[in-house]
Amino acid sequence: MMLLKNLKEKIENKAARIGIIGLGYVGLPILVSFAKKGFSVLGFDIDQYKIDQIRAGNSYIKHIPSENLKHELIEVTSDLSRLSEVDAIIICVPTPLNTHREPDLNYVIETTYAIARCLKIGQLIVLESTTYPGTTEEVMLPILTRTGLAVGEEFALAYSPEREDPANEKFSLVNVPKVVGGTTPLCLELAQTLYDQIIVKTVPVSSTKTAEASKILENIYRAVNIALVNELKILFHKMDIDIWEVIEAAKTKPFGFHAFYPGPGWGGHCIPIDPFYLSWKAREYDLSLQFIELAGEVNTLMPNYVVNRLASALNNQCKPIKNSRILLLGVAYKRNVDDQRESPSLKIIQLLQQQGALVEYHDPYAPTCNNHRHYPEIDLQSLPLTKENLQKFDAVIIATDHDHVDYQLVADNSSLIIDTRNVLASQGLKGESIVCA
């Protein structure tokens, strides 16, 4: 107990060394933030490419400047046996779904075993990976206590969900309140103390389960509302109503309404995955979470809707999808980022290729599109966006509304445009060749 209390003082004095496992979109910003505040940090990742890039001072994430990695307090390694060198460990590993759309906790479990092999008295472990309520205490805690050390007395265990929104210019890691839950009151106190060093505000909750549930709720809220506007988009198209105009009108109400926008589907590592962690867990309690399942069905089928709209538009020009040349604008899952994880563009490319289309893409943030777990057949490189290139295609699909795209050039030189983001209309670009999807 005394060593844990000493840890609080070490953190407050910036004498504690912080370890971050997983140096992706969540872990790398944390690594940088602690170093900027004067903490010695040791980053861990099994991907040697990331280790080599950080050591060379090169950022592999678009919105994190390389200069931020050139810090004397930053050290990185792929050697997990060095976990014994740090005082606090923050886990930021993936939590994907398996082929049956069930939680795949292998990364969390393997990481916990690696920590257990090096666990020393006085360490704090915090999980940030999004997961179902109960993971921290039902999955991680038994592995850690098998070492013979007691939680809340000899080591501390907590959960604090990540709230990263890549490329958000208004909110970043340090100015978004951080929810924190501990397995014991002392665990909570230590986790709060840790994050208080870099975050504008910590939000303590009564348990790790509550903290885990809060993140799941945040993502389910978004998933359900995205599905709602996507479904209404289909209906309003049939009714000859502009869904975008409807949303703009509705959001003038100063209370009781929050605007969500339709698109070609859902993407990223959170929204398409995290809600299913809770629906899987609910089966343990003989419950079926129908809102989650229905939202998943609607959002998952949106790429099919886009392709169907393309097929209809090509048909009006007496062209089939087969052998048509299609240019996709954007393979990243959202505007102004390079992250392609779970991007609906990947499904659109797959569907088009399966129907015999000749597909290429342009994305100013993603020079290559390959090595995707669920789409191993996709291996493409970004095509320069020029007048000559645009005129070679039978249709252009705007799948991601990046700012750094010359949409006037696209509008002037494309024979058919399928706009899934309403970006052309928002810039005052109209024409008979533009189809909303």
Q: Give catalytic residue positions.
A: 270
CA angle 156, 158, 162 (to 5 degrees): 145
User: How far is residue 366 from each of residues 57, 171, 335, 336, 392, measured CA to CA in Å?
Assistant: 20, 23, 12, 10, 21
Structure tokens at 166: 């890549």
Rg of the chain over Cα atoms, rounded to whole angstroms, equals 24
Instruction: Tell me how far apart the alpha carbons of residues 393 and 415 are, in angstroms, rounded to a whole number.
Output: 8
Query: Which residues, listed in sequence order, are joined to residue 64 by a DSSP beta bridge?
Result: none
Structure tokens at 19: 């370890």
Instruction: Tell me how far apart the alpha carbons of residues 139 and 15 are, in angstroms, rounded to a whole number.
Output: 30
HSE (side-chain half, CA atoms, 13 Å) at 380 = 25
Instruction: Tell me how far apart the alpha carbons of residues 249 and 54 are, in angstroms, rounded to a whole number.
Output: 47
DSSP assignment string, 161-198: -----TT-SS--GGGS-EEEEESSHHHHHHHHHHHHTT
**In degrees rounded to 5, what are phi and psi of residue 196?**
-60, -20
